[in-house]
């Protein structure tokens, strides 16, 4: 544990805020609301229809929603323990502390969070809101019908997990949050979302005709619920409001991740330090926010706002996210076996429990690679998943070697400067003697 101690990290009841982190402020019980903003976006209003089409069974769809909530709850227990042990910067620090002898992992996951996972989820939520707004005006969109298969169930599970995505974001803001509520706020948020999502889907099953969810001419299955009970005007407005809350919460935590990664040179950029600076008045990482805005804007310009794009973004982001959760659970298992943690952690979960959870995560990852059958042929999400993984590997490895070369250059420059100083000192001594 000496290596960890040298870096200023500790596990006995968490870290204290250093002078470098004076910009952080405690948020208190609002943390729970922040978590809910992260979780409950626009996904619950569009994903149920596609999950129903993928499974071809309302009962199977409901079981997937329940399983997704339980999965998120179990993962939140792991994040809770890690958040108590290392309340500094969320998931990135967990990987950093676990694999401090192999920094390439932290480079890969920093790249994944900043360039793949977080921006694609933000854009998907924004696209869903825009589709609902257009649907309220036009009242129609297009969607192909699906035929159930094992791959359909795996990918339906990924889409369900997309709607639960965001519960882990609060760990990136632990310094801002009152420790009094830090241990259970994420868990309460996931439980609330689980109950809400199951009840919403029960309402869909009760009110909506199952045949409507597989009609070719309607993409937004949840809209039938609005057609039946409330109408097309109020529902889109509420969805847009919900989406704005989710997107703003993700942007808030995403900027903190960018600031942390650039502060410790986990991203390949010669001017990375400018992204970890905080605004003197508002105390926010303004440069990180601007970078995130421009990067997401470029992706929005390049990708058309249609339902197929949304599902593409969901699969590109959620497949590495599921693997990411598995990696974090593995980190917790390694840390629990490497060190004995004391104080500050109540209701700690035994390590074998996390081994079962890790096996479940890998099962989801394998099933999601099976092909999906459509009326017009076979599509294989395997390519989307592999594309995202290759992107993360290339970006992370490039960042790692760039940082390694930069450090070597700085060492060479430092040695050259030291040699020059030694030569100057020798010349001064010779001048004094003469």
> For 88-97, what is each residue's pLDDT tens digit?
556 677 788 8
Quick one: pLDDT band at residue 10, thresholds 50, 70, 90?
Answer: very low
pLDDT for 41 equals 66
How does DSSP assign 27-94, residue by residue? -TTHHHHHHHHHHSSSHHHHHHHHHHHHHS-HHHHHHHHHHHHHHHHHHHHHHHHHHHH--SSTHHHH
Please give the Cα distance from 403 to 107 (Å, whole number).
Answer: 9
Please give the Cα distance from 147 to 53 (Å, whole number).
Answer: 8
Residues 6+ apart with CB under 8 A from 136: 232, 233, 235, 236
Q: The domain that contains 9 carries what CATH number?
A: 1.20.1740.10
Which backbone phi and psi does 299 adopt, to 5 degrees? -65, -40
Please give the Cα distance from 110 to 278 (Å, whole number).
Answer: 20
More confident residue, 333 or 180: 333
Please give the Cα distance from 288 to 113 (Å, whole number).
Answer: 13
pLDDT for 294 equals 92
Please give the Cα distance from 262 to 367 (Å, whole number).
Answer: 35
* Alpha helices in 171-233, H assignment, sequence order: 179-182, 185-207, 223-225
Query: Which residue has tokens 């010349």?
Result: 427
* Number of folded domains that form the chain: 1
Q: What residue numbers bound the domain in which 124 lies? A: 2-433
Please give the Cα distance from 377 to 384 (Å, whole number).
Answer: 17
- pTM passes above 0.75: no
Quick one: pLDDT band at residue 266, thresholds 50, 70, 90?
Answer: confident
Query: Which residue has tokens 């969320």?
Result: 90
Rg (CA), the chain: 24
Please give the Cα distance from 39 to 18 (Å, whole number).
Answer: 30
Query: Which residue has tokens 């298992």?
Result: 333
The C-alpha torsion from 358 through 66 and 147 to 235, rounded to 10°, is -130
């Amino acid at each position: 544990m000496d290596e960890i101690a040298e870096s200023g990290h500790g596990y006995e009841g968490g870290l204290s805020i250093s002078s470098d982190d004076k910009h952080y402020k405690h948020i208190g019980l609002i943390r729970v609301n922040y978590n809910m903003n992260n979780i409950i976006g626009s996904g619950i209003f569009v994903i149920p229809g596609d999950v129903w089409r993928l499974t071809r069974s309302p009962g199977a769809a409901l079981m997937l929603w329940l399983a997704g909530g339980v999965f998120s709850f179990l993962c939140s227990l792991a994040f809770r323990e890690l958040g108590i042990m290392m309340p500094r910067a969320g998931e990135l620090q967990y990987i950093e502390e676990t694999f401090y002898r192999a920094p390439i992992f932290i480079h890969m996951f920093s790249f994944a969070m900043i360039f793949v996972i977080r921006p694609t989820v933000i854009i998907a939520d924004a696209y869903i809101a825009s589709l609902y707004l257009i649907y309220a005006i036009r009242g129609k969109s297009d969607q192909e019908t699906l035929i159930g298969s094992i791959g359909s169930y795996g990918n339906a599970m990924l889409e369900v997990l997309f709607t639960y995505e965001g519960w882990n974001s609060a760990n990136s803001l632990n310094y801002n949050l009152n420790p009094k509520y830090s241990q259970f706020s994420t868990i309460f948020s996931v439980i609330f979302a689980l109950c809400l999502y199951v009840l919403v889907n029960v309402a869909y099953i009760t009110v909506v005709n199952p045949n409507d969810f597989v009609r070719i001419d309607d993409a937004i299955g949840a809209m039938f619920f609005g057609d039946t009970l409330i109408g097309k005007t109020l529902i889109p407005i509420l969805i847009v409001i919900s989406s704005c809350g989710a997107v703003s919460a993700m942007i808030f935590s995403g900027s903190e991740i960018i600031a942390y990664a650039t502060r410790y040179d986990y991203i390949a950029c010669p001017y990375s330090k400018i992204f970890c600076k905080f605004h003197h008045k508002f105390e926010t990482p303004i440069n990180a926010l601007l970078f995130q805005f421009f990067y997401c804007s470029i992706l929005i310009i390049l990708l058309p706002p249609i339902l197929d794009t949304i599902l593409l973004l969901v699969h590109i982001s959620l497949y590495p996210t599921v693997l990411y959760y598995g990696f974090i659970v593995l980190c917790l298992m390694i840390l629990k076996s490497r060190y004995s943690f004391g104080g500050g952690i109540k209701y700690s979960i035994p390590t074998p429990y996390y081994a079962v959870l890790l096996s479940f995560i890998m099962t989801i990852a394998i099933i999601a690679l099976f092909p999906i059958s459509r009326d017009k042929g076979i599509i294989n999400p395997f390519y989307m998943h592999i594309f995202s993984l290759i992107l993360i590997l290339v970006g992370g490895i490039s960042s790692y070697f760039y940082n390694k070369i930069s450090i070597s250059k700085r060492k060479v420059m430092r040695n050259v400067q030291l040699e020059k100083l030694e030569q100057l000192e020798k010349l001064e001594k010779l001048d004094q003697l003469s």
